[in-house]
Amino acid sequence: MSTHSPTAPIAPPAPPAAPEEAAPAPGRRLTSSRSGRRLAYGLIAPAVVFMVLVHLLPTAGGVLLSFKNLNTFTFSQLFAAPWNGLENYRAILFDSANPLHSGFLGAARNTAIYTAVTVGGTLAGGLGIALLVNREFRGRRVVRTLMLAPYVVPSFVVGVLWAFMFQSDSGIINRVLVDGTGILSERPAWLLDHSLLAIIIPSVWRGMPLAMLIFLAGLQSLPRELYEAAAIDGAGPWQRFRYITVPLLRPLIAIQLLFGVIYSAYQFTIPVVMLGSNPGPDADLMMTLIVRQSFSNNLFGFGAAASTLLTLAMLVWVAVWFRAFRRDLEAAA
Amino acid sequence: MTMLSLTPRRRRRLAGMGLTALTYVVLALMLAPIAWLILSSLQTRGHLADGVYDVLHPTFAAFGEMWRAVDFGRYFVNSLIICTASAAIATTLASFAGYALARLSFRGARAFGTSVVATQLIPGSMFLLPLFLGFIWLKQNTPIQLFDTHVGMILVYTAFFAPVAIWFMRYFFQQIPRELEEAAMVDGCTRFGALLRVVLPNAAPGVTATFVYAFLMAWDELLFVTALTEHTAETIPIGIRNFMGNYAEEYAQLMAAGVVSTIPVMVAFFATQRWLVKGLTAGAVKG
């Protein structure tokens, strides 16, 4: 019983009954016992079954489909549709006569812009709000809680609501910006002429509370003494922010960048609710394109190939991200 | 008197007041769209078309009409059934797997943990197409009915939201002192018995938060339900899209439907907020 940790309760002598765990010594020894391992596999088995059936096998199926010619005419054959080699990929990437080629490039560009601006805006806004509510002021607790509200509005409601507010004639946004304050001199048709911006703004609005929460948790864990020492050394607020806060928050920025980019690149609900299943060439994103071509036009081979390319793009992003932030992750671990 | 002639202390006080005012302005901007949603749901169709609101005379008419325009009740019930069942099953799976990751060391633990995260990297469309084709194939060739059924949607959502739920539960289990289950095991419980009888009850707030989070995400899901249902198992997001397609001018009802769709998740979120926030931030802050 030499492995007893000092905090463990004083155990009576082990009953001789349980042969496999004869001495239930706390901590490591027990957890790495054979019965512990068996239990562990039993505990993860249900989750593994679901992940294999709904994530792993269908993903493999998706890659397979990307090499098949599955469209309206071959749909009845399902997975047995004829092979198509690399034709789907060639058409998407290199066939400039194919409308899918330009559609894909346009959607890729829109998705890149949407993702960069949405993630940048969400993190900057979330950090700004976190800094504001991290101060001492009256009503701080209530303000922090209320700031979370946009995060809890479902995405499809966000889409409906902002599409309504962005209406050109009677929408509240133009009424405020044009009629009320005169900031704009003419009424923009947001959903037609500025459609990408019109889906970015609600996305940032809904994303900021979560970023605020994460940054706030980070800010509260920063050592106060550092700031006091820096203030004594004559560092102003901006310098303290630039040389203390930002470097210490880097791991949090890193993790939010990673998942924020993935989440935004796969955004579907907000554009589709606000702009319909065909958002037009200015705001068509990868997911709206893939879903429309697959389910409205039955171009499943195209959809699968475009999805595979999107997955590859995200793998590249993860690799880039890992190189850029490896040091921060090691520091945080 | 200018700013510069003030003493440093008074200057800092003034700056503080300015920042507090700014905080309240930002809060107002963040809440304004939600206020507008609620205000608009309490107006008549005519007021919304003009854009001139009669705020002093709210009417609940739209909240009555919205259930008749499209069959919103059916969508609502479908959402409740599918989201509750999938969140409950996902949380159960996650409690087991999360416990294994938090407490037991076993070969493949790292690989399992990594693949749980890796599932989040795959775009939905990647496995949506094969799932759709697979559901159609099953429908045509076997008695297993998953396309456009509650069971089919529950299976899909369970698998989707299990990975995040696993990370949540892993974190919540790590917060529970090991001594609790060790004491139970000394008293003759098996480890699994200790998990069920001692650890899980102590993790109850975490279990609830995990359930609520999975429920929120399922409630929000549009992509898969669009592709994998056509009538019987359609949920609220589909109902809202049908609403927009068929009654585009009925904005008051649409806003009312928005309010009704938001209330359940809003209540669930704020009721469990303390723990939910821990789960949401722990992953990022602790790595």
ipTM rounded to 2 decimals = 0.92
Dist CA B200 CA B197 (whole Å): 7
Q: Is the separation of the CB atoms in A108 and A123 below 8 Å?
A: no
Number of residue pairs across A and B with CB atoms under 8 Å? 310
Number of residues written out for chain B: 287
Q: Say what the pLDDT of residue B5 is.
A: 67
Q: How many CB atoms lie within 10 A of CB B176?
A: 18
A99 pLDDT tier (thresholds 50, 70, 90): confident
Q: Say what the pLDDT of residue A333 is.
A: 52
Q: How many CB atoms lie within 10 A of CB B76?
A: 18
| Record: contact B236-A145, CB cut-off 8 A | no
| Record: contact B123-A310, CB cut-off 8 A | yes
Dist CA B247 CA B259 (whole Å): 17
Per-residue confidence in pLDDT tens, chain B, 287 aa: 455 667 888 888 888 899 999 999 999 999 999 999 999 999 988 888 777 788 888 899 999 988 888 889 999 999 999 999 999 999 999 999 999 999 998 889 999 999 998 898 999 999 898 999 999 989 989 999 999 999 999 999 999 899 999 999 999 999 999 888 888 888 888 888 889 888 999 999 999 999 999 999 999 999 999 999 998 999 999 999 988 888 878 889 999 999 999 999 999 999 999 889 888 887 665 54
Q: Say what the pLDDT of residue B81 is.
A: 97
Dist CA B78 CA B72 (whole Å): 10
Higher-scoring residue by pLDDT: A46, A2:
A46
Higher-scoring residue by pLDDT: A137, A6:
A137
- Per-residue pLDDT at A31 exceeds 50: no
A326 shares contact with chain B (CB less than 8 Å): no
Q: Say what the pLDDT of residue A13 is.
A: 37
Task: Determine the distance in angstroms separating the CA of A152 from the nearest CA of chain B, rounded to an integer.
Answer: 6
A57 shares contact with chain B (CB less than 8 Å): yes
Q: For residue A13, how far is the Cα from the chain centroid?
A: 52
Mutate to test the interface with B, among A1, A31, A33, A43 (most CBs of B within 10 A): A43
Task: Determine the distance in angstroms separating the CA of A50 from the nearest CA of chain B, rounded to an integer.
Answer: 5
| Record: contact A269-B109, CB cut-off 8 A | no
| Record: contact B131-A54, CB cut-off 8 A | yes
Task: Determine the distance in angstroms separating the CA of B38 from the nearest CA of chain A, rounded to an integer.
Answer: 10
CA-nearest residue to B107 within chain A is A37
Nearest beta carbon to residue B222 from set A27, A213, A269:
A269
Q: Say what the pLDDT of residue B2 is.
A: 55
Higher-scoring residue by pLDDT: A274, B287:
A274
Burial class (CB in 10 A: 0-12, 13-18, 19+), A95: middle
A30 pLDDT tier (thresholds 50, 70, 90): very low
A306 pLDDT tier (thresholds 50, 70, 90): very high
Dist CA A83 CA A67 (whole Å): 6
Q: Which chain A residues touch B269 with a CB distance below 8 Å?
A: 148, 152
Give the mean model confidence (pLDDT) for residues A293-308. 90
| Record: contact A147-B27, CB cut-off 8 A | yes
> Which three-class secondary structure string do you get for B21-39?
HHHHHHHHHHHHHHHHHHH
Q: Say what the pLDDT of residue A27 is.
A: 45
Q: Say what the pLDDT of residue A1 is.
A: 33
Q: For residue B189, how far is the Cα from the chain centroid?
A: 35
Distances (CA, A) of B84 to B80, B159, B212, B214, B265: 6, 14, 9, 9, 12
